[in-house]
């Protein structure tokens, strides 16, 4: 069945490509040809068709449509080829995968091989990566190693957001929305000129949704009560409320430009709901008693994230047509996330009922960031001449991070929420506490040049030297289960590396570019210490990747269609992987000797008519772990493991497995049609994203995998120049799928959000 689906997708991709190539060509562009797409994938403004790498850009208007209904940053998952975004935390801590490469680690000091850059600032800590998307001009997805200009932690690629910048024209908007589950949102922006050289823009977002999962105490044994007569466990789950803002101030002089950006976020809600024993043994089907809207848990659940930051971008025009750029960034975040990890109530050894299903032991934990700061500084010098464009610079990164991990007795109470950032507060009823402190320093020197070998051929070469250093300390002042405290233990790691790229692009004709690219990427050593439950501090050595890519970029049909495609192959040495929790009930870092991947990506954008726009993409990603000696602990929940036993007792070999959360096939389509009316437009749009089956963990089992998933959206809006009113639906077919799992306690799963619908109204300022 899966082979048939793959062939169907491939046939559809080839059919779309060939039909596009067959579009008739004339010398002149159509009056409604596609607009030129300008990106900054190489830290300078370029036409998308001239960039010698696989890049997809989504503009702000399209993003606004597909994120209707309060969608967080995960809305871009599957909306471009080879990109997956998921989270076991909910609206925070997104994890990014490009071409199958990502990191399933849920530790708050986890590094990722996909870098997120927001307004020229790298967001390193995973809690920073979930900053809400609003008043955004475009997002660019750069696939493949970005080892020269961005360098740090980019062996898989980059997701890059650019907000709408201040302009001399006074403009803005106000948008209000209402939706299912008491969803309410307000979003607005206003900006313009404030003096001869100064402009400003202020953007604001408020978004909230009520709880849509009921935690019903009536399902719990009536003897399960506390001294105050109340059942522990939050009554309703999955709700949230958050606010975010961005203020930008820009200066534009004769030979100096400046942009200042202050931003912040405050989110208060519940963590992702884990559901005990919802998977039928021997399959990945839901159990008969599974109910998407109901759980029965006895643990607390809350999630709070507060972040703020500042950036400045300064540009000087120097003598000899050179430009000096300085980009300074500062970010900090505080966070606390607590959940009922085993997803049920009680345990088999408690003197009252437990469930749903078999619960071998209770598990209720929390992780928090009481203190964090990140400082980045980049200086870049660039110059364009008739024969070349070059840029060179230095980069500095400094981060201080403290992580607190808590264990709670399953019947404990936590009455004082404001104390969440003080682990030593006596009001906090935790029964176990561990502390981690990590200081990271990194610096780099880089340079890249485009050599114009002829009017048709450009050679690009870049090189970066990076040095990373991490100092890490972990301790357990309060051990759970009456254990002895564990004194502080420290680990210090560092590494230096050269990375870079070499590419050549050639203009075949006025509408066609071809290119080839060789790139090398690097990720510094990582440290993990799940020491609260007796786990050891583990270190993963640096990983490196070498990637070969070739593709073409073509405009067709008199400028009404654009088709970009790429083939790629990569080999990653010493890939950093996260093994756990499984039977060991602890996470640990390991290195795989080698991982190989290959595949292709295609992007098609076409104006089918003057008022109809089609965007279509498809990708194939084959990944394979190649390490005959690498073994991991399988599930501790009685699953049917498909891998052979490993050399270590109780382990299994993962040699030959694909990477976790890495679908082979992905496809996306957006279709937008405008019906002109008297003084207004009726706009109809639909979008769909498909991914094939995935494994949740490094090992393979019958239970812990996700079926193929197809999710669609629909929007109908009535728009004038000044205002718009719209109706929308997300997950309109109401797909109900297992999308993640926890494997150490029971057959526990996480499901996707249900169907959402709503209305919104927008007024535009000019």
Give 214-248 pLDDT, tens digit per residue.
987 545 544 444 323 334 455 688 999 999 999 99
Structure tokens belonging to residue 339: 């959940």
For residue 263, give the nearest of 331, 215, 206 by alpha carbon. Answer: 331
> What does the DSSP 8-state code read for residue 563?
E
For residue 130, give the nearest of 96, 157, 153, 107 by alpha carbon. Answer: 96
pLDDT at 637: 83
At which residue do the structure tokens 């390490």 appear? 627
Indicate whether 420 pLDDT > 60: no
Give 613-649 pLDDT, tens digit per residue.
999 999 999 999 999 999 999 998 889 999 999 988 8
From residue 412, give the alpha-carbon distance in Å to each of 222, 427, 428: 17, 11, 9
CB atoms within 10 A of CB 249: 18
Instruction: Tell me the mean pLDDT in the region 363-390.
Output: 94
Q: Determine the Cα–Cα distance for residues 574 and 626; give it in Å rounded to an integer.
A: 10
Indicate whether 427 pLDDT > 70: no
pLDDT at 287: 96
Between CA 103 and CA 748, with CA 76 as vertex, the angle to 5 degrees is: 50
Structure-model confidence comparison of residues 223 and 111, the more confident one: 111
Across all residues in the chain, what is the average pLDDT?
89
At which residue do the structure tokens 């039928």 appear? 280
For residue 464, give the nearest of 247, 181, 240, 150 by alpha carbon. Answer: 150
For residue 669, give the nearest of 706, 710, 708 by alpha carbon. Answer: 710
Q: Determine the Cα–Cα distance for residues 615 and 261; give it in Å rounded to an integer.
A: 32
Give 513-565 pLDDT, tens digit per residue.
999 999 999 999 999 988 888 778 999 999 999 999 999 999 999 999 999 99
Structure tokens belonging to residue 693: 């089956």
Q: Determine the Cα–Cα distance for residues 545 and 641; give it in Å rounded to an integer.
A: 30
Q: Determine the Cα–Cα distance for residues 64 and 85; give it in Å rounded to an integer.
A: 18
DSSP 318-380: -GGGEEEEEEEEEEEEEEEEEEETT-SBS-TTSSS--BSS--SS--EEEEEEEEEEEEEEEEE
620-629 burial by CB neighbour count: b if 16+ within 10 A, else e? bbebebbbee
684-712 burial by CB neighbour count: b if 16+ within 10 A, else e? ebbbbbbbbbbbbbbbbbbbbbbeebebb
For residue 599, give the nearest of 502, 664, 510, 514 by alpha carbon. Answer: 664
Q: What is the dihedral of CA 234, 127, 487, 538, to 10 degrees?
A: 110
Q: Determine the Cα–Cα distance for residues 38 and 18; give it in Å rounded to an integer.
A: 26
Burial class (CB in 10 A: 0-12, 13-18, 19+), 243: middle
Contact 532, 480 (CB under 8 A): yes
Q: Determine the Cα–Cα distance for residues 445 and 748; give it in Å rounded to an integer.
A: 46
Question: Where is 742: in which H helix or E strand?
Answer: strand 738-742
Contacts of 27 (CB under 8 A, 6+ apart): none
- Residue 74: helix, strand or coil by DSSP? helix
At which residue do the structure tokens 């009056």 appear? 31
pLDDT at 28: 56
The architecture of the domain spanning 2-158+172-765 is Beta Barrel (2.40)
Q: Dump strand ranges (E) for 388-429.
A: 388-408
pLDDT at 620: 98
Q: What are phi and psi of 284, to 5 degrees?
A: -115, 30
> What does the DSSP 8-state code read for residue 536?
P
For residue 436, give the nearest of 370, 495, 483, 373 by alpha carbon. Answer: 370
Structure tokens belonging to residue 682: 């009726």
> What does the DSSP 8-state code read for residue 426?
T
Indicate whether 204 pLDDT > 90: yes
Per cent of the chain over pLDDT 70 is 90
At which residue do the structure tokens 């997002």 appear? 139
Q: Which residues pair with 351 in a beta bridge?
A: none
Instruction: Tell me the mean pLDDT in the region 92-109.
Output: 93
Give 653-701 pLDDT, tens digit per residue.
999 999 999 999 999 999 999 999 999 999 999 999 999 999 999 999 9
Between CA 657 and CA 661, with CA 660 as vertex, the angle to 5 degrees is: 140
For residue 580, give the nearest of 112, 106, 13 by alpha carbon. Answer: 106
Contact 543, 591 (CB under 8 A): yes
Is the Cα dihedral 513, 519, 524, 530 positive or negative? Answer: positive
Residue 398's pLDDT band (cuts 50, 70, 90): very high
From residue 550, give the alpha-carbon distance in Å to each of 47, 451, 481, 489: 18, 19, 57, 47
Q: Determine the Cα–Cα distance for residues 436 and 648; give it in Å rounded to an integer.
A: 29
Q: Determine the Cα–Cα distance for residues 25 and 100; give it in Å rounded to an integer.
A: 37
CB atoms within 10 A of CB 462: 24
Give 11-31 pLDDT, tens digit per residue.
444 444 444 444 444 445 677
pLDDT at 421: 44
Question: Where is 19: in which H helix or E strand?
Answer: helix 2-21
Tell me which of 295-299, 427-431, 442-446, 744-748 is least confident: 427-431
Tell me which of 400-414, 419-433, 682-696 is least confident: 419-433
Question: How many whole angstroms from its chain centre is CA 373?
Answer: 21
Structure-model confidence comparison of residues 265 and 301, the more confident one: 265
pLDDT at 429: 57
Question: Where is 757: in which H helix or E strand?
Answer: strand 756-765
pTM above 0.85, yes or no: yes
From residue 720, give the alpha-carbon distance in Å to each of 164, 626, 762: 21, 57, 10
Contact 631, 652 (CB under 8 A): yes
Contact 79, 57 (CB under 8 A): no
Is the Cα dihedral 696, 698, 703, 705 positive or negative? Answer: positive
Question: Where is 64: in which H helix or E strand?
Answer: helix 60-66
Give 245-284 pLDDT, tens digit per residue.
999 999 999 999 999 999 999 999 999 999 999 999 999 9
Q: Which residues pair with 41 in a beta bridge?
A: none
Question: Where is 6: in which H helix or E strand?
Answer: helix 2-21
At which residue do the structure tokens 């205002």 appear? 723
Tally DSSP H helices, then E strands, for the chain.
Answer: 2, 42
Structure tokens belonging to residue 300: 């607390």
Residue 66's pLDDT band (cuts 50, 70, 90): confident
Q: Determine the Cα–Cα distance for residues 471 and 477; give it in Å rounded to an integer.
A: 20
Q: Determine the Cα–Cα distance for residues 630 and 646; give it in Å rounded to an integer.
A: 8
pLDDT at 200: 98
Domain-wise residue ranges, the chain: 2-158+172-765
Strand pairing report for 171-179 and 183-193? antiparallel
DSSP 522-563: EE--EEEE-TTTTPPEEEE--EEEEEEEEEEEEEEGGGTEEE
- Residue 61: helix, strand or coil by DSSP? helix
């Amino acid at each position: 069945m899966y082979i048939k689906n793959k062939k169907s997708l491939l046939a559809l991709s080839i059919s779309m490509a060939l039909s596009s190539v067959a579009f008739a060509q004339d010398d002149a562009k159509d009056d409604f040809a596609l607009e030129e797409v300008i990106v900054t994938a190489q830290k300078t403004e370029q036409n998308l068709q001239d960039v010698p790498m696989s890049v997809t850009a989504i503009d702000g208007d399209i993003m606004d449509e597909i994120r209707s209904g309060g969608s967080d940053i995960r809305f871009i998952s599957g909306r471009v080829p080879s990109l997956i975004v998921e989270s076991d935390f909910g609206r925070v801590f997104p994890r990014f995968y490009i071409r199958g490469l990502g990191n399933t680690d849920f530790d708050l000091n986890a590094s990722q091989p996909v870098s997120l850059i927001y307004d020229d600032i790298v967001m390193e800590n995973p809690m920073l990566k979930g900053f809400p998307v609003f008043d955004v001009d475009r997002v660019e997805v750069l696939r493949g190693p970005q080892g020269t200009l961005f360098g740090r932690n980019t062996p898989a690629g980059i997701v890059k957001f650019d907000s709408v910048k201040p302009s001399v024209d006074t403009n803005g908007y106000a948008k209000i929305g209402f939706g299912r589950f008491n969803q309410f949102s307000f979003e607005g922006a206003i900006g313009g000129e404030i003096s001869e050289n100064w402009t400003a823009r202020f953007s604001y977002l408020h978004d909230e949704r009520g709880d849509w999962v009921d935690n019903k105490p009536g399902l719990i044994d009536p003897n399960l009560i506390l001294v105050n007569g109340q059942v522990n466990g939050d009554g309703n789950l999955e709700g949230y409320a958050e606010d975010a803002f961005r203020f930008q101030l820009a200066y534009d002089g004769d030979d100096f430009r400046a942009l200042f950006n202050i931003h912040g976020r405050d989110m208060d809600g519940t963590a992702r709901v884990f559901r005990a024993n919802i998977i039928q043994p021997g399959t990945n089907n839901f159990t008969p008693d599974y109910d998407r809207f109901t759980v029965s848990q006895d643990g607390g659940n809350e999630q709070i994230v507060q972040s703020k930051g500042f950036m400045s971008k300064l540009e000087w025009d120097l003598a000899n047509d050179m430009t000096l750029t300085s980009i300074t960034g500062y970010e900090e975040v505080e966070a606390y996330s607590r959940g009922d990890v085993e997803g049920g109530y009680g345990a088999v050894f408690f003197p009252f009922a437990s469930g749903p299903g078999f619960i071998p032991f209770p598990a209720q934990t929390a992780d928090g960031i009481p203190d964090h700061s990140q400082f980045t500084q980049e200086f870049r010098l660039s110059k364009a001449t008739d024969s070349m464009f070059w840029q060179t610079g230095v980069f500095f990164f400094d981060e201080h991070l403290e992580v607190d991990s808590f264990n709670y007795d399953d019947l404990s109470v936590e009455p004082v929420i404001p104390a969440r950032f003080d682990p030593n507060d006596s009001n906090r009823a935790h029964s176990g506490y561990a502390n981690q402190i990590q200081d990271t320093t990194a610096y780099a020197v880089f340079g890249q040049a485009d050599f114009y070998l002829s009017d048709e051929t450009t050679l690009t070469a870049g090189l970066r030297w990076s040095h990373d250093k991490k100092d890490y300390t972990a301790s357990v002042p309060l051990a759970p289960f009456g254990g002895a405290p564990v004194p502080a233990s420290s680990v210090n790691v560092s590494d230096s590396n050269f990375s870079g790229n070499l590419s050549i692009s050639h203009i075949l004709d006025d509408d066609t570019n071809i290119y080839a690219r060789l790139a090398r990427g690097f990720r510094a050593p990582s440290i993990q210490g799940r020491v609260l439950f007796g786990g050891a501090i583990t270190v993963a050595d640096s990983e490196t990747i070498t990637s070969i890519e070739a593709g073409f970029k073509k405009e067709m049909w008199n400028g009404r269609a654009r088709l970009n495609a790429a083939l790629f192959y990569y080999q990653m040495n010493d890939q950093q992987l996260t093994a756990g929790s499984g039977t060991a009930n602890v996470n640990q870092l390991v290195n795989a000797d080698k991982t190989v991947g290959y595949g292709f990506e295609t992007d098609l954008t076409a104006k089918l008519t003057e008022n109809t726009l089609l965007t279509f993409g498809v990708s194939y990603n084959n990944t394979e772990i190649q390490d005959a000696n690498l073994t991991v602990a399988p599930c501790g929940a009685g699953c049917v493991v498909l891998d052979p036993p490993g050399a270590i007792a109780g382990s299994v070999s993962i040699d030959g497995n694909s990477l976790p959360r890495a679908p082979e096939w992905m496809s996306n389509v957006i279709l937008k049609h405008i019906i002109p009316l008297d003084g207004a437009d009726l706009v109809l749009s639909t979008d769909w994203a498909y991914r094939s089956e995935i494994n949740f963990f490094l090992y393979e089992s019958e239970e812990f995998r996700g079926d193929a998933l197809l999710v669609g959206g629909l929007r109908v809006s009535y728009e004038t120049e000044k205002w718009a009113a719209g109706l929308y639906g997300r997950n309109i077919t109401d797909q109900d799928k297992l999308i993640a799992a926890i494997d150490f306690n029971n057959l526990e799963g996480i499901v996707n959000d249900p169907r959402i619908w709503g209305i919104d109204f927008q007024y535009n300022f000019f």
